[in-house]
């Protein structure tokens, strides 16, 4: 029997194994760590937040969503009126601005990793060319 995967272990779980529970756990834990929020209250209820997380995971993937969540928590400044950053607010209002930057950076990184440094020439071709 396969061991049960802890879907809330967002720090160690590979992106391909993320689901809604993983992303929610990340948001809840970061609120506790960064803002001292003991009781997480979802925006418009749990079902709404689970829906927006699911759509984001499907559309953008777990790796991009994770980076977006991390950046949103770097930017967010809690106030007495809004002491926490909810997943619903993050995805509905911050993701449209942050995600395009994250996707562009991921694409740029992917391109630079696939382009050979010497233009794809063998050592002999390089010596002949020089």
Q: Does residue 9 lie within any of the structural domains?
A: no
Q: Does residue 82 lie within any of the structural domains?
A: yes
Q: Are 31 and 85 in contact (CB under 8 A)?
A: yes
Per the structure, how many domains does the chain have?
1
Q: Does residue 5 lie within any of the structural domains?
A: no
Q: Does residue 7 lie within any of the structural domains?
A: no
Domain that holds residue 98: 15-129
Chain position carrying tokens 């809330």 = 8
Q: Does residue 53 lie within any of the structural domains?
A: yes
Q: How far is CA 116 from CA 14, 34, 119, in A?
A: 27, 41, 5
Tokens at 11, concatenated: 């720090």
* Cα(115)–Cα(112) distance, integer angstroms: 5
Task: Tell me the per-residue pLDDT of 12-51, one tens digit each, with 9 for 90 and over.
Answer: 889 999 999 999 999 999 999 999 998 999 999 999 999 9
- This prediction has a pTM of 0.80
Task: Tell me the per-residue pLDDT of 40-84, one tens digit each, with 9 for 90 and over.
Answer: 999 999 999 999 999 999 999 999 999 999 999 999 999 999 999
Q: Does residue 6 lie within any of the structural domains?
A: no
Q: Does residue 118 lie within any of the structural domains?
A: yes
* Cα(103)–Cα(109) distance, integer angstroms: 10
Q: Does residue 26 lie within any of the structural domains?
A: yes
Task: Tell me the per-residue pLDDT of 114-123, one tens digit each, with 9 for 90 and over.
Answer: 666 556 666 6
């Amino acid at each position: 029997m396969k061991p049960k995967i802890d879907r809330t272990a967002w720090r160690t779980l590979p992106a391909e194994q993320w689901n809604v529970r993983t992303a929610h756990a990340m948001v809840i834990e970061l609120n506790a760590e960064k803002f001292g929020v003991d009781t997480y209250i979802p925006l418009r209820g749990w079902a709404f937040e689970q829906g927006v997380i699911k759509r984001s995971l499907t559309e953008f993937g777990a790796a991009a969503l994770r980076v977006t969540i991390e950046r949103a928590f770097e930017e967010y400044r809690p106030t007495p009126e809004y002491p926490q950053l909810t997943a619903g607010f993050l995805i509905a209002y911050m993701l449209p601005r942050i995600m395009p930057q994250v996707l562009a950076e991921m694409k740029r990184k992917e391109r630079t990793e696939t382009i050979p440094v010497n233009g794809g020439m063998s050592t002999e071709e390089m010596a002949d060319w020089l």
